[in-house]
Structure 1
Amino acid sequence: MIDSVKLLSLAVAAPEHVIYQSDAAETAARLFSSRFSDFGHLARVFGNAGIYKRHTARPLSWFEQPHAWHDRMEAYTEVAGQLFVEVTNKALYRAGLKPQDIDCIVTVSSTGFATPSLEARFAAEMGFRSDIERVPIFGLGCAAGVSGFGIATRMAKGRPGATVLFVSIELCSLAFRLDELTRPNIIATALFGDGAGACILRAGEGGLAEVESTGEHLFPNTLGIMGWKIDDIGFGIILEQSLPPFAEKYLGEAIAGILARSDLKMADIDRFICHPGGAKVLTAIESSLSLEPGSLDHERDVLSDYGNMSSPTVLFVLERAIIAGLPKRSAMIAMGPGFAASCVTLKALA
Structure 2
Amino acid sequence: MRGVRAPDTEGAGGCSGAGTPESHPRITAVGTALPPHSYTQHELLEIFGIEEPRIRSVFLNSAIDRRHLTLPPKSPSGGMVQETQGDLLRRHVDSGLSMGASAIRACLKRAGADVSDVRYLCCVSSTGFITPGFSALLIKEMGIPTATSRLDVVGMGCNAGLNALGAVAGWSGARPGALALMVCIEACSAAYVFDGTMRTSVVNSLFGDGAAAVAVQAGAEPAGGGTAGDGARGGAPALLGFASEIVPEASEAMRYDWDETHGRFSFSLDPDIPYVVGAHAAEPVRRLLADAGLRRSDIAHWIVHSGGKKVIDALRVNLRLTRHDLRHTTGVLRDCGNLSSGSFLFSYERLLAEGAAVPGDHGVLMTMGPGSTIETALLRW
> What is the TM-score with the length of structure 2 in the denominator?
0.84
SS at match of 2:375: strand
Cα deviations across residues 70-125 of structure 1 (Å, max 9, x unaligned)?
10011111110111211111111111111121111011000012222122123234
Find the counterpart in structure 2 of residue 238 from structure 1: 268
Q: CA–CA distance in 2 between the matches of 1:67 and 1:259?
A: 47
1:192 aligns with 2:223: no
1:342 aligns with 2:358: no
Find the counterpart in structure 2 of residue 160 from structure 1: 176
- Alpha-carbon offset, residue 186 of structure 1: 0.6
Cα deviations across residues 24-64 of structure 1 (Å, max 9, x unaligned)?
12344x25x5xxxxx42232121111111100123674882
Structure 2 counterparts to residues 186-335 of structure 1, below 5 A: 186-206=201-221, 207-208=228-229, 209-231=237-259, 233-293=263-323, 295-324=325-354, 325-327=356-358, 328-335=361-368
- Alpha-carbon offset, residue 273 of structure 1: 0.8
- Alpha-carbon offset, residue 183 of structure 1: 2.1
Find the counterpart in structure 1 of residue 6 from structure 2: none
Structure 2 counterparts to residues 91-130 of structure 1, below 5 A: 91-130=107-146
Find the counterpart in structure 2 of residue 25 from structure 1: 45
> What is the TM-score with the length of structure 1 in the denominator?
0.91
- Alpha-carbon offset, residue 315 of structure 1: 0.6
The verdict on how the C-alpha distance between 1:334 and 1:316 changes in structure 2, with shifts beyond 3 A counting, is same
The sequence identity of aligned pairs, in percent, is: 29
Kept in 1: contact 2:194–2:201 (CA 8 A): no
* Corresponding letter in the other structure for 1:45: V
Q: CA–CA distance in 1 between the matches of 2:132 and 2:277?
A: 36
* Corresponding letter in the other structure for 1:288: N
Find the counterpart in structure 2 of residue 44 from structure 1: 57
The verdict on how the C-alpha distance between 1:161 and 1:60 changes in structure 2, with shifts beyond 3 A counting, is same
* Corresponding letter in the other structure for 1:113: F
- Alpha-carbon offset, residue 155 of structure 1: 1.6
SS at match of 2:186: strand
Find the counterpart in structure 1 of residue 26 from structure 2: 6
Cα deviations across residues 11-32 of structure 1 (Å, max 9, x unaligned)?
001011212111112344x25x
Kept in 1: contact 2:180–2:217 (CA 8 A): yes
Higher helix share: 1
Q: Which deviates the most, 125-134 or 330-339?
A: 125-134
The verdict on how the C-alpha distance between 1:184 and 1:261 changes in structure 2, with shifts beyond 3 A counting, is farther
The number of residue pairs the alignment matches comes to 340
Q: CA–CA distance in 2 between the matches of 1:61 and 1:16?
A: 18
Find the counterpart in structure 2 of residue 36 from structure 1: none
The verdict on how the C-alpha distance between 1:61 and 1:307 changes in structure 2, with shifts beyond 3 A counting, is farther
Which of 134, 139, 143 aligns to 2:150? It is: 134
Q: CA–CA distance in 1 between the matches of 2:177 and 2:134?
A: 25
Kept in 2: contact 1:216–1:343 (CA 8 A): yes
Q: CA–CA distance in 1 between the matches of 2:83 and 2:150?
A: 31
Kept in 2: contact 1:19–1:60 (CA 8 A): no
Find the counterpart in structure 1 of residue 84 from structure 2: 68
Unaligned regions of 5+ residues in structure 1, if any? 34-38
- Alpha-carbon offset, residue 296 of structure 1: 1.1
Q: CA–CA distance in 1 between the matches of 2:73 and 2:219?
A: 45
Q: CA–CA distance in 1 between the matches of 2:300 and 2:317?
A: 16
- Alpha-carbon offset, residue 294 of structure 1: 5.4
Q: CA–CA distance in 1 between the matches of 2:121 and 2:59?
A: 37
Kept in 2: contact 1:217–1:258 (CA 8 A): no
Q: Which deviates the most, 63-72 or 195-204?
A: 63-72
Unaligned regions of 5+ residues in structure 2, if any? 1-18, 222-227, 230-236
Kept in 2: contact 1:20–1:53 (CA 8 A): yes
Kept in 1: contact 2:72–2:80 (CA 8 A): no
